Structure 1
Amino acid sequence: MDDFTLTEDISIEEVLNSSEFAVVRVIEEHGGAAARNVFNSRFVKSGIFSLPNLQIVLAGSPVIQQLAFGVYGIRGREFSEKAFAVANASASRLGSPVNITDDGWCEFQFTVSEAALHNGIADIPKRVARVITPGTYTTEGLANGTISFGTLKCSPTRTSGLTVLLQKAGIQGGEPLQFSIHPESKRVRITRTTKS
């Protein structure tokens, strides 16, 4: 009884307000799924519109659908798995955000604990595991060698060989590191970062 069909096409510009239309366009630019921090950067920090206005659009617009925590799509439209994985990783509640660059690098800060170094076991954050391809990667920067990510089905976040390379490089437990992973070329860059 509530299944209606339009008799003629209507341009979305005619029915959406300017804020809704802007958010829809950003979601489309990101493959059908975008994280809230993308909207914050594009609209709020740049002064295009206010945080309350963004909140009203995301929570109240009938065309915007929340796909996961902090991830939004367009109601009734498909989105790519990659777009969702990137947005979901970026919107993670815990830890530093994951940034996906235009040239495909997955960047994040990561701290290996003393216990992890001692036991030789380190797990990458789940938000990172969602967007990288499991396999063997060549490392550069602080630690040179090869490591594996997510090759164990029972533990998709588990790394192999990472703690050994970090110990050889003189990395101490609790030291914050910057990781950049390129899933296509299977490369990892590891650099020191400063505590904020």
Structure 2
Amino acid sequence: MNDRQRLKEILLEKSYRQGSFTLTSGKTSDFYIDGKQTTLSAEGAYLCGKLILELILKQKEPIQAVGGMTLGADPLVTAVSMVSFLEKNPIPAFIVRKEAKGHGTGNYIEGLKNMPAGCRVALIEDVVTTGGTLLQVIERVEAQGFKVGAVITVVERQEGGVKTLADAGYTLESIFTREELLS
């Protein structure tokens, strides 16, 4: 069994639920993918980190940091960074806050000291529905002078996220679409 197939098994076992749910986007859905249940497991985190790193390394221009919006991206950015180190190609991680820090530096972004100024970054998320959260992250990251070189999710729900990001000039890559995960 390859890594992608094993990750699919873990996602279906730990993260996929049926029922009635309200998503971050405000939409209601008859299924929910709680990505953190997978990304906070040791094997799930490793596989996500490895598969996302493979997508990052295929980019036309080098990616120099990986980040995303807290909380969904926190375990993912750590996993990608750790796997990159183990594979002798270290990529630092950063986290984008939902609100600016109310004390100290007041930063939206944590991990700036590990990132070259103006570097090209990959933004990652566990699950994308409409793409709204990623647009917010892109805005904050670009406001700090960084260039977004890749946008990647573990699961793309096929509910408008690809189009939203494409309309803004970005390509959303995924390990799985909803269709691929549920087939």
Interval containing the TM-score (normalised by the shorter chain)? under 0.3
Larger radius of gyration: 1
Give the structure-1-normalised TM-score.
0.25
Instruction: Say which structure is richer in helix.
Output: 2
Give the structure-2-normalised TM-score.
0.26
